[in-house]
Chain A
Amino acid sequence: MSAKIVLGRVALYALLSAVTFLVCFPLVWAFFTSVKPKEEIFRWPPTLWPESWTLENYRALLEGKQAYFQAGAAAASGPPPSAFFLDWFLNSVIVTLGTTAISTIVSTLAAYSLTRFRFPGQRAVPYLALVGYMVPSIIFVFPMFLVMADLRLTDTLFSLILGYVCITLPFCMWLMWAFFRGVPIEIEEAALVDGASRLRVFWEIVLPTAWPGIIAAAIFTLIVSWNDYLFGRVFMNSMENLPLTVGVMHFFDGTHVDWGLMMASSVMMTVPMAVLFMLLQKHLVAGFGAGAVKG
């Protein structure tokens, strides 16, 4: 390698590292803050590398300790918000998994049906789904709240699942439709001619080949339902029923903010997504390729 190429590479790596540092910094800083003891968090100038490491912020979250500086009305009425942290976490897990199961199953069945059978208005459905996918949640949320109120479902985790199914279904539908359209039907037809039933063909031939599409749809749904704030905010009332995203915003209720607790919950909220990202990065990019994830 000539000196010029080596220099060019060094420059490229330097540039990439600088950008990556800037991009990752807010998350790294949240982590460092979460492992610092209180007095170090409030020190000025701040210590870049934590001088002493502690898990007290995480322990406070898991044990539901009073927030450090909490005062005033929030502290006076009932247990501190951090007492509900584990409830919130569990709620988010339940809602996310429930939504993902429903959205992927319903969209897979419908997309298969749409690409293999004839219906009136067949061509319009995927395009309508795409339009539905562009409609922002803020438009859905109030009328859907009224629908939930009519069904007496408000303040239940099930209402959240239904809400998230409704905002994720259009895109999952579109994704699976695009996917099934690309799967050749010759093998299915051959099996049908050989006397296999349609259900058996679907179960034994179609589903195994559909996994990449299903995984992409599932990832999309997982991300949307884990990250949403708006529906949880409008649908839910009781502290113990909140999803994680709505719950942690209650840490701002006091007159002072406990940044250590805040950053610890920030880290705990990100970790499931980080694990998912590392495990499924390949599929994630495939999903993007199939038609751009909502954002």
Chain B
Amino acid sequence: MRGFRLSDRQVGILFMLPFLVTAGAFMVWPVAEAVRLAFYSYNPLRPDDLTWVGFENFERIFNDPLFWESFSQALVWTGWSIVLQTLLGVGLAMLLHVALPGIAVFRGLLLFPYIVPTVVIALNWRWIFNSEIGIVNHALVSLGIIEQNIAWLSTPNMAMTSAVLLNVWKYTPFVIICVLARLQTIPTELYDAAKVDGAGAWRRFTDITLPMLKEVLVVVIVFRTIWTFNKFEEIYLLTRGGPGTSTFNLAVYAFEEGMANLRLGVAAATGVVMIVLLLAGTVVYVRVSGFGQEEKAT
């Protein structure tokens, strides 16, 4: 049997091979293709017509008011989502950290939105925010908060508000999980000592909890900012970027250019801009988190 044994080196290569093939064919190639396409004019209905256009696609998007509108709307969408998610996430994590009987049930229920398919949330949102027979309008009217039904999804500001609420609903659990994990590692002696020194609940929060959470919050905020900025489905499935173009972000812009206008080159150029922004975000992330530092140390 000895003759059939694979050497360690062969096993190593054999195990690595499927990953290299898949990653090469379906990740490296498409990304290279994406960058290449950005310099071509290409319509998938005329596959033989691939024309080199240089930086024309980039000129086109930078001169397109819709691109800049999408960009600034992406900032609004990201800003509100991150602020609300962080505040709610920290608050709820503090609540869920309290040792109460039955707290596990609350934890489970509050984390569940995170794995609900975006399509499901979008459908539910369209239903509860329906302007005529939606339950949200009904609740707000009967509580006397508003007098007339709000056309949530067909007025620009309200559509953006609904989209932000959807994003907050789905992704606050992510913040909760990360913060909760950190909270559980803070030694309780710190709080006991502070109590002995006469620090009130708020003082204990600002002097002990917040500094301890700083690190994890920075990481969570950077990650969530990058992902939220590039989100497509959460907006597209709820509003299709509308009414008009009032909830377009760069991802919806790229999708519409590629899918509706069949300008894959322009879509790819938008993608390249997004990659550049993403890399900038990653650099920030590496800087603030000291990621990879411990590698060099060992």
Task: Check B210 for interface membership: any CB of A closer than 8 A.
Answer: no
Q: A140-B30, A199-B11 are in contact. Are A33 and B117 (CB under 8 A)?
A: no
Provide the bound-state CA to CA distance between A169 and B123, in Å: 29
Provide the bound-state CA to CA distance between A198 and B44, in Å: 48
Tell me whether B181 and A288 are in contact (CB under 8 A): yes
Interface residues of A in 1-57 (CB under 8 A from B): 9, 12-13, 15-16, 19-20, 23-27, 29-30, 33, 41-42, 44-46
Interface residues of B in 14-59 (CB under 8 A from A): 15-16, 18-20, 22-23, 25-27, 29-31, 33-34, 37, 44, 47
Tell me whether B31 and A45 are in contact (CB under 8 A): no
Tell me whether B223 and A292 are in contact (CB under 8 A): yes
Contact among A24, A112, A131 with B15 in the assembled complex (CB-CB below 8 Å) = A112
Tell me whether B237 and A249 are in contact (CB under 8 A): yes
Chain B residue nearest in CB terms to A127: B292
**A287: shortest Cβ distance to chain B, in Å?**
10
Contact among A102, A142, A197, A295 with B258 in the assembled complex (CB-CB below 8 Å) = A142
Interface residues of A in 113-128 (CB under 8 A from B): 113-114, 116-117, 119, 123, 127
Q: A109-B15, A270-B120 are in contact. Are A132 and B27 (CB under 8 A)?
A: yes
Task: Check B112 for interface membership: any CB of A closer than 8 A.
Answer: yes
Tell me whether A142 and B37 are in contact (CB under 8 A): yes
Tell me whether A198 and B227 are in contact (CB under 8 A): no
Task: Check B118 for interface membership: any CB of A closer than 8 A.
Answer: yes
Q: Could you say which interface size class chain B belongs to?
A: 35 or more
Interface residues of A in 247-288 (CB under 8 A from B): 248-249, 259, 262-263, 265-266, 269-270, 273-274, 276-278, 281, 284-285, 288
The 8 A CB mask of B139-181 against A (1 = contact, 0 = none) is 0001000000000000000000000000001110010011001
Tell me whether B31 and A135 are in contact (CB under 8 A): yes
Task: Check A62 for interface membership: any CB of B closer than 8 A.
Answer: no
Task: Check B275 for interface membership: any CB of A closer than 8 A.
Answer: yes
Contacts of A116 in B (CB 8 A): 12
Stretch in A65-73, A76-84, A208-216, A223-231 with 4+ CB within 8 Å of B: A223-231
Provide the bound-state CA to CA distance between A109 and B17, in Å: 9
Instruction: Give the secondary structure class of B's interface.
Output: helix
**A39: shortest Cβ distance to chain B, in Å?**
12
Provide the bound-state CA to CA distance between A106 and B20, in Å: 9
Task: Check B295 for interface membership: any CB of A closer than 8 A.
Answer: yes
Task: Check A241 for interface membership: any CB of B closer than 8 A.
Answer: no
Contacts of B128 in A (CB 8 A): 25-26, 29
Provide the bound-state CA to CA distance between A246 and B20, in Å: 30
Tell me whether A227 and B31 are in contact (CB under 8 A): no
Tell me whether B115 and A229 are in contact (CB under 8 A): no
- Hey, which bits of chain B sit against chain A, CB under 8 A? 5-6, 8-9, 11-13, 15-16, 18-20, 22-23, 25-27, 29-31, 33-34, 37, 44, 47, 92, 95-96, 98, 100, 103, 106, 108-110, 112-121, 123-125, 127-128, 130, 132-133, 135, 138, 142, 169-171, 174, 177-178, 181, 220, 223-224, 226-227, 230-233, 237, 251, 254-255, 258-259, 264, 267-268, 271, 274-275, 278, 281-282, 292, 295
Pull 14 A–B residue pairs with CB atoms less than 8 Å apart, ordered by A. Answer: A24-B109, A27-B116, A46-B133, A106-B22, A113-B15, A116-B12, A136-B227, A140-B27, A142-B34, A146-B264, A147-B30, A170-B27, A198-B11, A295-B174
